[in-house]
Structure 1
Amino acid sequence: MDTTRQEKINRLIQKELSEIFRKQTQQMRGLIVSVSTVRVSPDLGMAKVYLSIFPSEQAKDILTNIKTNIKTLRFDLGQKLGKQLRVIPELAFYLDDSLDYLENIDRLLGSDNKKDE
């Protein structure tokens, strides 16, 4: 259970990282990187960031690229949040594949319905 402060920081980091990714992917047509969830540790020193990447075929490559540029992303985040947070948390990026999971379930249920007809 997150405290109110953690929830506010989660939303703040999610908003700013979303804006950073939007600006960086603007030149790349057909690529969407969205921040689905951010979870900050109780000591506010670590932030787990879950990303949803479209198209999902490129997700692992994009995530690898993001992980190699993690220091730059943290610096950019610090530039935006420096006045609001004393310490910018370390970032850890993870792939949020819940949309692919839902799509797979829909596909499986759709094929089952066609068999019944």
Structure 2
Amino acid sequence: MQETKRQKQVGQLVQQELSDIFIRMGFNVTEGGMISISSVKMTPDLLEARVYLSMFQIKSPEEMLVRIKDKMGEIRRELGNRVAKQLRRVPELVFFLDDTLDHVFRMEELFKKINEEKNRQ
């Protein structure tokens, strides 16, 4: 099912505000790596935001996800303060790892190997 215009608007708003919150909380650059919010998908009732996090050079993405989930109350409260005038209810946040970047790097490595093998022949 395709997202409605309102879902996209609220998703972009939540993504912008969460990005700023992550910067203020120090989650964007940590442990020598970077965390960014790649996308936010809203449910049709706008009560749940599925937040996809992209982690670059983080040693243990799963542990970092647990650390972020531990701060969920603080993050949601700050989000509520920021979007109170635009939304009636603050959406529940559900965090997921976005491993698209890992797939891109793997594909690039495979293409390099293929090109090297072709050049050898």
SS, match of residue 85 in structure 2: coil
- What letter matches 1:22 in structure 2? I
Determine if contact 1:39/1:48 at 8 Å carries over to the other structure: yes
Distance in 1 (alpha carbons) for counterparts of 2:30 and 2:11? 27
- The Cα offsets for residues 66-98 of structure 1, whole Å up to 9 and x where unpaired, read as 112212111111011111111001000000010
1:29 Cα offset (Å):
6.3
Query: 1:47 pairs with 30, 46, 49, which one?
Result: 49
SS, match of residue 80 in structure 1: helix
1:61 corresponds to which residue? 63
Q: Percent identity?
A: 38
Distance in 1 (alpha carbons) for counterparts of 2:9 and 2:29? 30
1:70 corresponds to which residue? 72
Which is further off, 27-36 or 81-90?
Answer: 27-36
Distance in 2 (alpha carbons) for counterparts of 1:75 and 1:22? 16
Distance in 2 (alpha carbons) for counterparts of 1:7 and 1:61? 29
Q: 1:53 to 1:73 in 2, by over 3 A?
A: same
C-alpha RMSD over aligned residues = 1.6
SS, match of residue 16 in structure 2: helix
Distance in 2 (alpha carbons) for counterparts of 1:57 and 1:29? 8
1:35 Cα offset (Å):
0.6
Distance in 2 (alpha carbons) for counterparts of 1:27 and 1:97? 18
TM-score by length of 1: 0.91
Distance in 1 (alpha carbons) for counterparts of 2:42 and 2:66? 21
Distance in 2 (alpha carbons) for counterparts of 1:21 and 1:32? 11
- The Cα offsets for residues 6-35 of structure 1, whole Å up to 9 and x where unpaired, read as 111000000000111122226746332111
Determine if contact 1:22/1:33 at 8 Å carries over to the other structure: no
SS, match of residue 94 in structure 2: strand
